[in-house]
């Protein structure tokens, strides 16, 4: 945020070459300065040519009425400008059976709304009923321990399986159970849970 002058949208739309140059020093784990520059350039492309990030996800969702199609479309648009192959590993590919945990979490934040204000609920064009579980090692382990998930891999097929089970509990908001599954996996005593 400091590198973006704490105004990310304005930075994207107004930055000059010297502003972009300082971004090239950014590093976080395997995400390097070139990756960061590409992400910013891709976001600028989206805001310039597609009106908004929400519009990309909404367009993708509309084609098949699934989050799968929304994520597939988002990746296609995001990678539509020239980029280094290294950057592609930072954008989940559901067509390659990725669980797309971070993108599903992002959609949860943007789409879901509740009285506890855990999620933002800013986007209105994708219904909460369509959301998919942000599956990770914690939610996967807990779901398996409680007999909610049979698949051993944490991949897109597992996301579909566990989300279908959660929809049986609440068809209108199946992802409300994400916090409980995650919390048990992270904060509870795992050895006793899995005996």
- The per-residue pLDDT for 47 is 95
Residue linked to tokens 């934040």: 109
The whole-number average pLDDT for the span 22-46 is: 91
CB-based contact 107:67 (threshold 8 Å)? yes
pLDDT bin (cut points 50, 70, 90) of residue 195 is very low
Q: Give the Cα separation of 135 and 158 in Å (integer).
A: 8
Q: Model's pTM, two decimal places?
A: 0.90
Q: Give the Cα separation of 153 and 158 in Å (integer).
A: 7
For the chain, what percent of residues have pLDDT higher than 70?
A: 93
| 104 closest CA partner among 166, 169, 148, 44 | 166
- The per-residue pLDDT for 190 is 52
For the stretch 44-99, pLDDT in tens is 999 999 999 999 999 999 989 999 999 999 999 999 999 989 889 999 999 999 99
The whole-number average pLDDT for the span 134-162 is: 95
From residue 36, give the alpha-carbon distance in Å to each of 20, 25, 73, 157, 195: 10, 9, 21, 30, 43
Cβ-based burial of 93 (10 A; exposed 0-12, middle 13-18, buried ≥19): middle
Which pair of tokens denotes residue 186? 């992270």
Q: Give the Cα separation of 8 and 36 in Å (integer).
A: 13
Task: Tell which wins on pLDDT, 17 or 110.
Answer: 110
The whole-number average pLDDT for the span 126-148 is: 95
For the stretch 14-25, pLDDT in tens is 988 888 888 888
């Amino acid at each position: 945020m400091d590198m973006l002058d704490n105004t990310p949208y304005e930075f994207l739309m107004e930055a000059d070459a010297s502003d972009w140059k300082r971004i090239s020093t950014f590093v976080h784990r395997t995400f390097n300065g070139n990756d960061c520059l590409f992400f910013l350039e891709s976001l600028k492309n989206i805001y310039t040519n597609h009106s908004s990030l929400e519009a990309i996800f909404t367009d993708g969702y509309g084609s098949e009425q699934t989050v799968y199609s929304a994520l597939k479309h988002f990746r296609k648009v995001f990678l539509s400008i020239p980029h280094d192959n290294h950057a592609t590993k930072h954008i989940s590919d559901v067509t390659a059976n990725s669980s797309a945990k971070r993108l599903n979490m992002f959609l949860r934040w943007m789409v879901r709304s509740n009285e506890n204000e855990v999620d933002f609920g800013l986007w209105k064009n994708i219904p909460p009923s369509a959301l998919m579980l942000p599956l990770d090692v914690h939610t996967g382990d807990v779901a398996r321990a409680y007999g909610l998930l049979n698949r051993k891999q944490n991949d897109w097929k597992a996301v579909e399986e566990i989300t279908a089970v959660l929809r049986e509990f609440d068809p209108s908001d199946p992802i409300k159970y994400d916090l409980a599954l995650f919390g048990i996996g992270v904060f509870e005593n795992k050895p006793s849970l899995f005996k």
